[in-house]
Amino acid sequence: MSGLEHFRAENAVDAEVAIVGGGLIGCMTAHELRRRGRSVLVLERGLLGGQSSGVSFGSLRLQGQHAPELPLALHAQALWTEVETLIGESVEFAGHGHVHLAVDDAQEARLAGNAEHGRAFGLPIELIGRQEAIRRWPFLGASVRAASFSARDAVVNPRLVAPAFARAAQRLGATICERVEVLAARHDAGGFALQCRDRDGAERTLRAEVLVNAAGAWSGTLAGWFGETIPLFAAGPAEMVTEPVPRFVEPTMHVVDGSVLFRQTSRGNVVIGGHPRMSVDATTRRTRVPPDKMLTNLGRLVAIAPHLRAYAVIRSWTGIEGYLEDMMPVLGPSATTPGLFHACAFSGHGLQLGPAAAKALAELITTGATALPIAPFGIGRFSAEGRRQVHSLAEEFQDDVLHRPG
């Protein structure tokens, strides 16, 4: 029975766990829960991976990741190396590493700081002078002063990830419904009642014992149904891609202030990203990159890799990502409602953190505890006391949140 048929069936069995959102977080969590034998229903109002998950740059970056997130990120990276074996499909995982570039003194100091910080967590980061950088990557332009290399960083093809995990979860027995929107939800003595509507306007109330909020940039609405606040804002990094060009680079190249980054796919296309992120309209769910923004980012690109001037950009896009001011997700149990779990507002890092976030959530749901380091991500940090702690954390990361790398 397809997900939609299941939704419409009179006597459909409601699930132990209902997941709102069929992005990579929802699909990975469904897969982890099925591996642990729980019945799972994923409710996605659009298409699987149709929002942030399907449009990301594709970077699994560890280098420069901030301290509260790095332990979970390292765990996630170990899981990523096994993902294709686990789900039996390729997501074009490529462990070519990640290069940070510096174009001035301040950025060079930042490379050194990142390397020291990485070492403190057992992540080796190699510092590289200009001469050696040019030897390894001869295409680099005159502005590059120094580089740092993290070999454990990787990339995947983001378009493949959510659908591949959904298929793997389905093979294990999960029910995945596309084009079913959750309009409202409440909690009562019997668990959760979800008021849902399918693409033809048919409405039904589904029941579940456990509810997972994996609704991405829209997760604040779901939290609000249970009296909780997730003070996220929606923003979108600008992305572009060139026609296929002769192979010239393996690792991702990333000016350390985030102003431009690029990677070459196995087909030869160069995917280009760059800050600042743009504000986007989460209500219309449509986004685009303005032409002036494209020109700015292309100017920065050819300063780093001048030979790319000769090639054509064939597409631009952005997406709607939920950010929090401390650039960390909300991951863990609700503070108001037993059986409700949040896994959202990944602030630009959800692809990298995904496998570990899903594992932590599945452990919490099935055993009530997880040994994974998710303590910094509790929803309690938005209480008055929590906010004070977050504020002091945020001060460590000085620039405007829209301009931060990653």
Ligand X SMILES: Cc1cc2nc3c(=O)[nH]c(=O)nc-3n(C[C@H](O)[C@H](O)[C@H](O)COP(=O)(O)OP(=O)(O)OC[C@H]3O[C@@H](n4cnc5c(N)ncnc54)[C@H](O)[C@@H]3O)c2cc1C
Query: Does 251 participate in binding ligand X (rule CB under 6 A)?
Result: no
Query: Which of the stretches 215-223, 240-248, 307-315, 372-380 binds ligand X when contact is defined by CB under 6 A?
Result: 215-223
- Count of residues touching ligand X (by CB under 6 A): 40
Query: Which of the stretches 37-45, 112-120, 295-303, 330-338 binds ligand X when contact is defined by CB under 6 A?
Result: 37-45
Instruction: Please say which residue, 21 or 333, places its beta carbon nearer to ligand X.
Output: 21
Cβ at position 118, least distance to ligand X in Å: 17
Instruction: Please say which residue, 108 or 275, places its beta carbon nearer to ligand X.
Output: 275
Q: Is 260 helix (H, G, I), strand (E, B) or coil?
A: coil
The contact pattern for ligand X, residues 154-183, with x = CB under 6 A and - = no contact, is ---------------------------xx-
Separation of alpha carbons 270 and 272, rounded Å:
6
Instruction: Please say which residue, 18 or 108, places its beta carbon nearer to ligand X.
Output: 18
Instruction: Please say which residue, 20 or 168, places its beta carbon nearer to ligand X.
Output: 20
DSSP string, 154-189: EE--HHHHHHHHHHHHHHTT-EEEESEEEEEEEEET
The contact pattern for ligand X, residues 305-324, with x = CB under 6 A and - = no contact, is -------------xx-x---
Instruction: Please say which residue, 49 or 118, places its beta carbon nearer to ligand X.
Output: 49
Instruction: Please say which residue, 108 or 198, places its beta carbon nearer to ligand X.
Output: 198
Q: Which of 18, 25, 168, 298 binds ligand X (CB under 6 A)?
A: 25
Cβ at position 396, least distance to ligand X in Å: 21
Write the CB contacts of 359 (distance below 8 Å, at least 6 apart in sequence).
Answer: 32, 75, 79, 370, 372
Query: How far lies 292's CA from each of 56, 131, 377, in Å?
Result: 21, 34, 36
Q: Is 405 helix (H, G, I), strand (E, B) or coil?
A: coil
Find, among 306, 312, 280, the residue nearest to 137 by Cα.
306
Q: Which of 163, 332, 350, 355 binds ligand X (CB under 6 A)?
A: 350
Separation of alpha carbons 194 and 205, rounded Å:
5
Q: Which of 97, 236, 274, 333 binds ligand X (CB under 6 A)?
A: 236
Find, among 393, 332, 391, the residue nearest to 365 by Cα.
332
Q: Which of 102, 133, 351, 365 binds ligand X (CB under 6 A)?
A: 351
Q: Is 208 helix (H, G, I), strand (E, B) or coil?
A: strand
Angle at CA of residue 378, ends 375 and 383, nearest 5°: 130
Q: Which of 17, 30, 56, 83 binds ligand X (CB under 6 A)?
A: 56
Cβ at position 285, least distance to ligand X in Å: 8
Q: Which of 15, 52, 154, 251 binds ligand X (CB under 6 A)?
A: 52
Cβ at position 116, least distance to ligand X in Å: 23
C-beta separation of 367 from 222 below 8 A? no
Query: Does 280 participate in binding ligand X (rule CB under 6 A)?
Result: no
Query: Which of the stretches 18-26, 90-98, 134-142, 388-396 binds ligand X when contact is defined by CB under 6 A?
Result: 18-26
The interaxial angle of helices 350-367 and 70-80, nearest 10 deg, is 90
Write the CB contacts of 155 (distance below 8 Å, at least 6 apart in sequence).
Answer: 58, 59, 60, 92, 93, 94, 96, 252, 263
Enter the DSSP assignment of 12. P
Pairing of strands 340-344, 330-333: antiparallel
Instruction: Please say which residue, 115 or 289, places its beta carbon nearer to ligand X.
Output: 289
C-beta separation of 352 from 60 below 8 A? yes
Q: Which of 3, 7, 17, 23 binds ligand X (CB under 6 A)?
A: 23
- Which residues would be at the binding site for ligand X (CB under 6 A)? 20-26, 43-46, 50-53, 55-59, 181-182, 214-218, 236-237, 239, 318-319, 321, 344, 346, 348-352
